[in-house]
Amino acid sequence: MQKKTKRIFILLFISVILNLFLGITSFIKSTYTANLDDQVILGEMTKMVIQNEQYQEIASRETVYAIKQGVNRFNVSDPSSIYLYEISVQTEQKSYIFTCTDKLCTEVSNEGWSYSRYSDNEPVLPLEIIN
């Protein structure tokens, strides 16, 4: 009887640990993964970025390789904030980060920049053939 109780306890313990691990992993992933509503907002923001004067200036002087959409709920005090959305314009020199300028997102602006993978690596697609 004691062996059976030990086995059940061990299985219960493993189950609790596994569920905690999967739950925490799922929560962390949800902080930076866009859901369907986020994708609609990010799509509209991407159109606004492409029409933005700052983007046009960047595109005129550098080769734009990718436009990447992102969500970051991890460090935002208000999870429903429009400021958690960002559009990253990746060139061979930098990644320019565009975000909304106000709570209604009537306009987007280049609010920063970061490292671009294209400064060290070639594009994944054969872009020379397309151009």
Given a cut of 70, is residue 77 above it in pLDDT?
no
How many domains is the chain built from? Answer: 2
Write down the pLDDT at residue 31: 73
| Residues 12 and 46 both lie in one domain | no
Residues of the domain holding 44: 36-130
| Residues 48 and 110 both lie in one domain | yes
| Residues 10 and 59 both lie in one domain | no
| Residues 51 and 97 both lie in one domain | yes
Q: What is the DSSP letter of 15?
A: H
| Residues 21 and 40 both lie in one domain | no
| Residues 80 and 63 both lie in one domain | yes
Contacts of 49-57 with CB under 8 Å at 24 or more apart are: 49/87, 49/89, 49/98, 49/108, 52/98, 52/107, 52/108, 52/109, 52/110, 54/96, 54/98, 54/109, 54/110, 55/89, 55/96, 55/98, 55/110
| Residues 75 and 119 both lie in one domain | yes
| Residues 104 and 50 both lie in one domain | yes
| Residues 75 and 107 both lie in one domain | yes
**If pLDDT is split at 50, 70 and 90, which confidence band does 71 have?**
confident
**If pLDDT is split at 50, 70 and 90, which confidence band does 128 have?**
low
| Residues 75 and 18 both lie in one domain | no
Q: Check: pTM over 0.85? Answer yes or no.
A: no
| Residues 20 and 69 both lie in one domain | no
| Residues 7 and 42 both lie in one domain | no
Pick from 94, 131, 90, 108: which is nearest to 45 by CA?
Answer: 108
Give the tens place of pLDDT for each residue, 85-113. Answer: 899 999 988 899 999 988 888 999 998 88
